[in-house]
Structure 1
Amino acid sequence: MRALPVGDDALLVEVASGDEAQALHAELLRRRAEGSLSVREIVPAARTVLLDGLADPARLASELTAAEVPPAPPRARDVVELPVRYDGPDLADVAALWGVSEPEVARIHASTEFRVAFCGFAPGFGYLAGLPPRYDVPRRATPRTAVPAGSVGLAGPYTGVYPRSSPGGWQLIGTTDAVLWDHARVPAALLSPGTRVRFIPMGPSADAA
């Protein structure tokens, strides 16, 4: 673990893996909830956690680098279920990369419980971790100029759902009608770091999964 100062009152903590970043994020949230950590914002990313609004960043940096972070506990809240049709244009390519049939891709993906590791790219977009490393897939060599809203994609170790139409290079395996971002909703984002997520097959893919 390495802690780097960011300005006068912020700290960027680097760790070795996504699992460690999730565990550190959960531990920092726990400390803030119990009152032992005063911080304005805690923002997780792939292998870092940013803490903003600290009174004494140097002291916390010293404490964190000397401590062992416990594994992230399971979230108490219910699992968010996202209905999905496994009809994406890259489903066949992913099946070939995994060495399985297209229905098997749907079955594997739908049988996995995911956890939002961090959010970014676009409002409402969560990077969902949970698939074993053997199912990592590369991004497309040529990104699409417009990916439809609701597209379910894979890239590296992550699954993601495009909350709105945007360019993107993820491998698209399905679509969902779930609204990931609604500014009139509280909270606006359906997914937040730590949220547990499951994909529920719809239509013909339901029988396959």
Structure 2
Amino acid sequence: MDGTILQGLDFSWSLIWRKLKYSKALQMEGMTRYQSGEFTYEEWCEWACARFIQAGLTRQQLADFSRDITVSNNFISTVETLKKMGLMLAIVSGGIDTLLHDKIPEYEQYFDYVFINRFKFDDAGFLCGVVPTKFDFKHKTTAVEMICKERGYSLEECVFVGDAINDKDVLQSVGLGISYLAKDYEIYHCAKTRIEENDLSLILPEILNPCV
């Protein structure tokens, strides 16, 4: 999602840390505790969310934070084309649902599956919790495998579009891994196809030509 569907941010969580003026050191503390195994991914999400709650983060603030975010060029026409061709679409992201909703309110109508972190708000609009995705980093592949099992596909029949290091495992696991405006050298080189322009329609020939 971050960097593929949405542009103008590296990572949903980093955007919020920065806008709330938390130090880079605190942000890295949480990530280090996750990478060392002290935190599970879910615990890391809850730890970060607790800091955001402490800062009094509101739904309106998140809407304000998303103002400079843009939708990748030709997103709607691209997903509509893929749906018309009968392809099943999924979001498997470590991003945050509110940022996506603010830019594409109807996003769920385009996707058969959406795996994403979901923020919870109280009646006054203050952040009060998070429902973490179970499928970030190495577990993105698990999500794709689960979909394949439910729908009767193989990983070789799947396409994944990613841009960051948490996409590496799944890009290497599917039949067609596409890097889109890759942020990381490893991602650029582990993908089978690379898109270097902000135009999602450029993935269509890569996906549809084998079907012709």
- More relative contact order in 1 or in 2 (CA 8 Å, sep 6+)? 1
Q: TM-score, normalised by structure 1?
A: 0.33
Rg (Cα) greater in structure: 1
Structure with greater proportional helix content = 2
User: TM-score scaled to structure 2, two decimals?
Assistant: 0.32
